[in-house]
Amino acid sequence: MLKSGLESALQTVKAWLARQAPARRAQAAAELPVRAHVDAGGARPVRLMAFDQALVAVVGTLLALGVVMVYSATIAMPDNPKFANYSHLHFLQRHVLFIAIAFVAALATVQLPMTFWEKNAPYVFIVALVLLVAVLLPFIGKVVNNSRRWIPLGLMSFQPSELAKLAITLYAANYMVRRMDSRERFFRAVTPMVVAVGIVGALLLRQPDMGAFIVIATIAMGVLFLGGVNARMFFLIALVMIIVLGLFLAFDDLRRERILAYLDPWNPKYAQGKGYQLTHSLIALGRGEIFGQGLGSSIEKLHYLPEAHTDFLLAVIGEELGFVGVAAVIVLFFWLTRRVFLIGRQAIALDRVFAGLLSQGIGIWIGFQAFINMGVNLGLLPTKGLTLPLMSYGGSAILMNLVALALVLRVDIENRALMRGGRA
């Protein structure tokens, strides 16, 4: 009888515990949100941040270093009669203004969901084409150094080729999503993109801006490849691009001279001409050695190295901060590019193909342009007229760089929302 009583009491306790289990689980969930997780070592809960703080920190570091180096590279420019009417803070103030405008635009961009950009990608591309045509009109476009690339807008001059980089990235990602079923059919999958890149390229080469065309063609080919276009087709497209560029160089004396100057910059024939920037960039980097001459101590920026605050900012960094400074910049860009690619891969793993391809396309843009700029400064590539992303002086470039990275941040935010069990 005692035994049966104990068994009955035990059954009653088990039933009570079973009834209490859902309430206990709900209380635990309230105390420990879904967005928190415990690491494998059993340590305290670690919060899953709502956005990639490391990515924002690296971008902020590059922007801050860019502000310092632009100021250093331009502080002596008013000594030149060409800039005699400018104050010593003129370029610094404008650069900070550009960053402020770009920051506001980035904040607005990150508020818009990826569905908005996927839906409107073709319209952004059309706007970019219209602006590329408009800049060629004499009463709209402004000519600087024999190139018609800028549209004056009061506070800043806008460069449509920078918008075209973002537009082709959006369009290529959108196109690959729409044509997923025809990725293995060469002409159906590739021809429309080749036509789009060809039109943009023709307009850019009219400015002329070969550097921007190379970046845009690389973005398009990269997104096609990552989107699943057959590798043989990809290399065939690359071969066609190389042939087109070869023909362009064959009939363009100015670009051909740049190639020859790059191959032998110290030749007296080029040292004071097309090779002048490259030779003085190499001199600046050579003077920097390991630890540099010290911040503000560059000699080459004193009217020897043209465009020291735009295309050749890395040379000033090398002279003032040495190999250590240049290596730090390279590591930061490598980390940034890698992180952007990882965010894109994560989006694709979550079945968000457009967001993933867009993020990876932006990674190609930032990484490849930084690579070209560094290669030019180090004498590894011919002069292309491309700025160092996030760092060089220039309103349009800073604006579009931050807008593009805001899109990547939005992709990351939506990825994290989905991983927490919510909606993008």
Residue type, 258: R
**Spatial distance between the Cα atoms of 422 and 414, rounded to a whole number of angstroms:** 9
Reported as a single tens digit per residue, the pLDDT across 356-405 is 999 999 999 999 999 999 999 998 888 877 899 999 998 899 999 999 99
* Higher-pLDDT residue of 51, 359: 359
Domain ranges of the chain: 46-417
Largest CA distance in the chain: 114
pLDDT band at 20 (very low <50, low <70, confident <90, very high): low
pLDDT of residue 41: 40
152 phi/psi in degrees, rounded to 5: -65, 130
Q: Cα–Cα distance between 299 and 85 in angstroms, integer?
A: 22
pLDDT, mean of residues 243-256: 70
More confident residue, 11 or 100: 100
Mean pLDDT, the chain, integer: 83
Q: Is pLDDT of 202 > 60?
A: yes
334-349: pLDDT as tens digits: 999 999 999 999 999 9
| Adjacent-strand bridge partners of 46 | 37
Q: What would the pLDDT profile of 57-86 be if each residue is shown by its tens digit?
A: 999 999 999 999 999 999 988 887 777 788
What per-residue confidence (pLDDT) applies to 33? 35
